[in-house]
Amino acid sequence: MIGAIGIGDISRVISHSPDKKLNERIGFMKSIPASLAQSLRVSGQSHLLSFLDSLNPVDYQRLVGQLMSVDWPLIRNLVSTGFTVVEEGEEDFEPPVAVRANGEGVAWSISDAEDAGVTALRAGAVAAVVVAGGQGTRLGFEHPKGMLPIGPVSNRTLFQIIADRLKATGLRYGVKIPLYLMTSDATHQETVSYFSSNNYLGLDPSELVIFKQGTMPAVDISTGLCLMAAPNSLALSPDGHGGTLAALQKNGCLDDAESRGVKHLAYIQVDNPLAQLCDPVFLGHHLLSGSEMTTQVVKKRYPLEKVGNVVRVGEKVRIVEYSDLPEHSAKQTNEDGELRFWAGNIAVHLIELPFLRRSLTQADLLPFHRAFKQVPYVDRSGQRINPSEPNAVKFERFIFDLLPHAKNALVVEADPAFAFAPVKNAAGSETDTAELAKDACSNLHKGWLERLGITVAEGVRVEINPLFALDMSELATKVSRDQEFLEDHYFCS
């Protein structure tokens, strides 16, 4: 099932109570509803109608459709509260209580956790949620990030790597794991074509739901006026990965998941090829602790690493952006030399379905964060401006802001070598590039082979498709140990 959000049936909407004065000016065929004109007036955004006269019917419909889909009271509210970044009360932060990678921190063992996770997987109670709606501006890849080739030997794309892992996990536990894949205006069409023209990457199309997240208008940093990307369009951008919540509901994914018997959602981002999607141990820790939301973390590599810091405030778990943790706190160490705030967010979460439903009943549960960005726009005369400095505020919600609202929220540490290889930056950057992610994937698999006594020559890259072996124990049953790899090798079934 592939769902898409349209801009709404505006021909039906515009037949109601047209705004008389405005419509005399723009002509009958282009009338706009009085309620829209009123909302724009009240929120001080009537300038958005200034190009209407000049638009052809198609462009006119597009613009009015966009304007109708914006929550104007919300925009008014966000603009009126200003764009100053509020300093965090650092004294409240404590390191999180966590299940460490070696299993310390809880009463049960890793193997107890694995058993609990396997039982839930076998019961078909788990679905995957992958978010792939971001614009990927730092990477500078001209297609959706999920289409980036990242397999170190195979050149499989990020989407294919996720699909293979999901299929292999389903095969191991005798179920088909539904995948809810979130896109945005920026990535939807290409993602849908990519999946449909590549045989759904081996997934069963009835287990795949591709759905689009919402958008938010960007506003001018100094005036709070919404920017126009063109005379026929607002400057819109995806509403952040926190938009997943509303988009899952709006597109019927929560009902769909429930009807399939799903209780737990395994959430990852598209840009981490090592993400341990549907890992039974992680799932088991989540289940045994009765957590409504569990987040996987890794030890930060250095104090000022640009990852969110997972902290505790009282009994609550929350994530503090790296820019909001004061430098002296970020650099604090414990007696053993470990960073006091050691837990870095890798955006791998487990979320209970009833908790999501409950969260959706509280409209403002997830706050909007403000990001200052360069957003090209057209000025009042219709001239396109490409700013060289941040000129706009974008509003985004973050999924991790759910954490403080979850009962028994849990933090579980993973070894980054097994779980984290983010693809964020363009080639040549020092961190988080595709090349570094390829190295990380190859090194992980090289480590498995070497622990089985197999030699991989220096500089040689290896890659293991999860459909060949999902983990080292499975690999042990499939390869003979007296081997040596002198050239790059891809293990696939």
- What tokens appear for 22 in the block? 């405005």
Q: Which of 240, 273, 284, 466 binds ligand UTP (CB under 6 A)?
A: 240
- What tokens appear for 106 in the block? 């809880």
Looking at residues 290 to 309 of the shown chain, list those that interact with ligand UTP (rule: CB under 6 A).
none
90 CB-near residues (< 8 Å, 6+ apart): 325, 326, 329
CB of 68 to ligand UTP, least distance (A): 21
The window from 98-106, 128-136, 301-309, 450-458 that contacts ligand UTP (CB under 6 A) reads: 128-136
Residue 79 backbone class (left: φ over 0; alpha: ψ -120 to 50; beta: rest): alpha
How far is C-alpha 261 from the geometric centre of its chain's CA atoms? 24
Q: Which of 212, 394, 424, 438 binds ligand UTP (CB under 6 A)?
A: 424
Q: Which of 10, 67, 131, 409 binds ligand UTP (CB under 6 A)?
A: 131
Among 447, 427, 446, residue whose Cα is nearest residue 435: 427
Q: Assess 191 for contact with ligand UTP (CB under 6 A).
A: no
Q: What is the CA radius of gyration of the chain?
A: 24
The window from 194-202, 234-242, 374-382, 455-463 that contacts ligand UTP (CB under 6 A) reads: 234-242
259 CB-near residues (< 8 Å, 6+ apart): none
- Binding residues for ligand UTP, total number by CB under 6 A: 23
Q: Which of 136, 284, 416, 466 binds ligand UTP (CB under 6 A)?
A: 136
Amino acid sitting at position 356: L
Q: Which of 95, 133, 151, 284 binds ligand UTP (CB under 6 A)?
A: 133
The window from 109-117, 133-141, 333-341, 357-365 that contacts ligand UTP (CB under 6 A) reads: 133-141
Looking at residues 258 to 277 of the shown chain, list those that interact with ligand UTP (rule: CB under 6 A).
269-271
Q: Looking up tokens 């405030």, which residue turns up?
A: 313
By beta-carbon proximity to ligand UTP, the closer residue of 136 and 217 is 136
Site string for ligand UTP, 371-400 (x = CB under 6 A): -------------------------x----
Q: What is the DSSP string of 12-58?
A: HHTTSSB-HHHHHHH-GGG--BHHHHHHHHHTT-GGGGTTGGG--HH
- What tokens appear for 350 in the block? 């487990």
By beta-carbon proximity to ligand UTP, the closer residue of 247 and 456 is 247
Q: Which of 30, 62, 145, 286 binds ligand UTP (CB under 6 A)?
A: 145
CB of 148 to ligand UTP, least distance (A): 11
Q: Which long-range contacts (CB under 8 A, 24 or more apart) does 146-151 make?
A: 146/187, 146/191, 146/194, 146/270, 147/190, 147/191, 147/194, 148/423, 148/434, 150/273, 150/423, 150/434, 150/437, 150/438, 150/441, 151/273, 151/438, 151/441, 151/463, 151/490
Q: Which of 98, 182, 277, 402 binds ligand UTP (CB under 6 A)?
A: 182
Q: Assess 148 for contact with ligand UTP (CB under 6 A).
A: no
CB 143 within 8 Å of CB 149:
no
CB of 130 to ligand UTP, least distance (A): 8
Q: Which of 241, 285, 370, 446 binds ligand UTP (CB under 6 A)?
A: 241
CB of 419 to ligand UTP, least distance (A): 15
By beta-carbon proximity to ligand UTP, the closer residue of 360 and 467 is 360
CB of 245 to ligand UTP, least distance (A): 12
CB of 269 to ligand UTP, least distance (A): 3
By beta-carbon proximity to ligand UTP, the closer residue of 15 and 189 is 189
Among 195, 210, 199, residue whose Cα is nearest residue 159: 195
Please, what is the angle between helix 57-69 and helix 34-42, to 10°? Answer: 60
Query: Pairing mode, if any, of strands 309-313 and 369-373?
Result: unpaired
CB 322 within 8 Å of CB 310:
no
CB of 138 to ligand UTP, least distance (A): 3
Which residues sit at the interface with ligand UTP, rule CB under 6 A? 131-139, 145, 182, 184, 213, 238-241, 243, 269-271, 396, 424
